Copies of this chain bind each other. A is one copy, B any other.
Amino acid sequence: MRPTSMRTTVDFDAQGVQHGYLQLPHSRDDSAWGSVMLPVTVIRNGDGPTALITGGNHGDEYEGPLAILDLAAQTKEAQVSGRIILIPFMNGPAVLAGRRTSPVDGGNMNRAFPGRPDGTVTDKIADYFTRTLLPMADLVLDFHSGGRTLDFLPFAASHVLDDKEQEGRCSAARDAFCAPFTVQMAEIDPASMYDHAAESQGKTFVTTELGGRGTATPETTAIARRGLRNVLIHAGILAGTIEPAPTRHISQENPRCFHFSPAAGMIEFCATIGDEIVTGDVLARIWPLDRTGTAPLDVTARMDGLLTVRHHPGLIAQGDCLAVLSTDLHQKKG
């Protein structure tokens, strides 16, 4: 396979704190010899484990980037044992545009793995993670939130894995995050996700969903910041003690938990995320935009559960995920 065309201005093996760039040549109509520049901070002190921390996998999710930028600006070499690689804007072009996907190639980074060295910009970034960055890492934490079109109760998640030792490492790191909610996910179609790329290399992998609506609040940012520090402390890479917080283990494994919109229209939610829903409750009403005087279309709950995710924008299209309900999970014992 062809080598990556990514260059870096940092030396991953050097001691100390470096702020620099991953630089990917990108020939554009408005700059024949242009580059995509991804800021990166590397903090190394001695030979301990490596944590690879990413935000901006989707460009409209903000808690992760804010927590990473803060950590990058504040962390001193002496606080670290091993190495922290901080990449706040994984899909840089998407972050600059405030969009889920890349305006350069339409790429959804979390569906572009393992990537290709001769593909689109998104493919090339994914390939660089797969073949260069992930092999350096022991612990991988990838921040997500709901983006502009979804709103989530804040949770940290890890996956059900065939290798139960690895699964245990992942769930332990996830629990160290101390998010308000915790999910153990069984991904149905993982093949093109960053999660799978990391897990298939045996890494300890944690991900999150920490809010959404295309913004961040002081509360969700604080969750991200605490979780990031807790996970690094848990891994023995950052000095300090874990700041504990209560969590609630929930599950979205029942296929009935996903509710899709049967029609396009203006959506009136009748419940709020965090509400306990009973089967048959009206979750939302869909109003037509082309007339007055007719009743709206009610969307009712197909199961009991906690309203965990909702569609954010005031308009909804047919087939959009309208709401997700969760049930409580009695955590499995080791």
Taking Cβ atoms with an 8 Å cutoff, the residues of A that contact B are 2-3, 5, 17, 19, 21, 23, 27-37, 39-41, 58, 60, 62, 65-66, 68-70, 72-73, 86, 88-89, 95-96, 98-101, 108, 111, 118, 146-150, 189, 191-192, 213-219, 221, 260, 263-264, 266, 268-272, 287, 289-296, 311-321
**Are B213's CB and A215's CB within 8 A?**
yes
**Bound complex: CA of A178 vs CA of B73, how far in Å?**
47
Is B30 a contact partner of A296 (Cβ separation < 8 A)? no
Check B214 against A27 for contact (C-beta < 8 Å): no
**A37 touching B293, Cβ below 8 Å:** no
Q: Is the CB of A319 within 8 A of B35?
A: yes
Chain B residue nearest in CB terms to A271: B218
Complex CA distance for A172 and B4, rounded to whole angstroms? 33
Q: Check if A320 sits within 8 Å of B269, measured CB to CB.
A: no
Are A315's CB and B29's CB within 8 A? no
- Interchain CA distance A120-B110 in the complex, whole Å: 15
A73 with B293: CB separation less than 8 A: yes
Asked if B320 contacts A290 (CB within 8 A), the reply is no
Chain B neighbourhood of A118, CB < 8 A: 191-192
In the complex, the answer to whether A320 meets B31 with C-beta atoms within 8 Å is yes
Q: Which residues of B contact A70 (CB under 8 A)?
A: 268
- Contact flag A319-B37 (CB < 8 Å), given A32-B149, A150-B32, A266-B69: yes
Q: In the A-B complex, list the 4 residue pairs whose CB atoms are closest, starting with the nearest.
A: A35-B319, A19-B293, A33-B321, A62-B314
- Residue on B with the closest CB to A263? B290
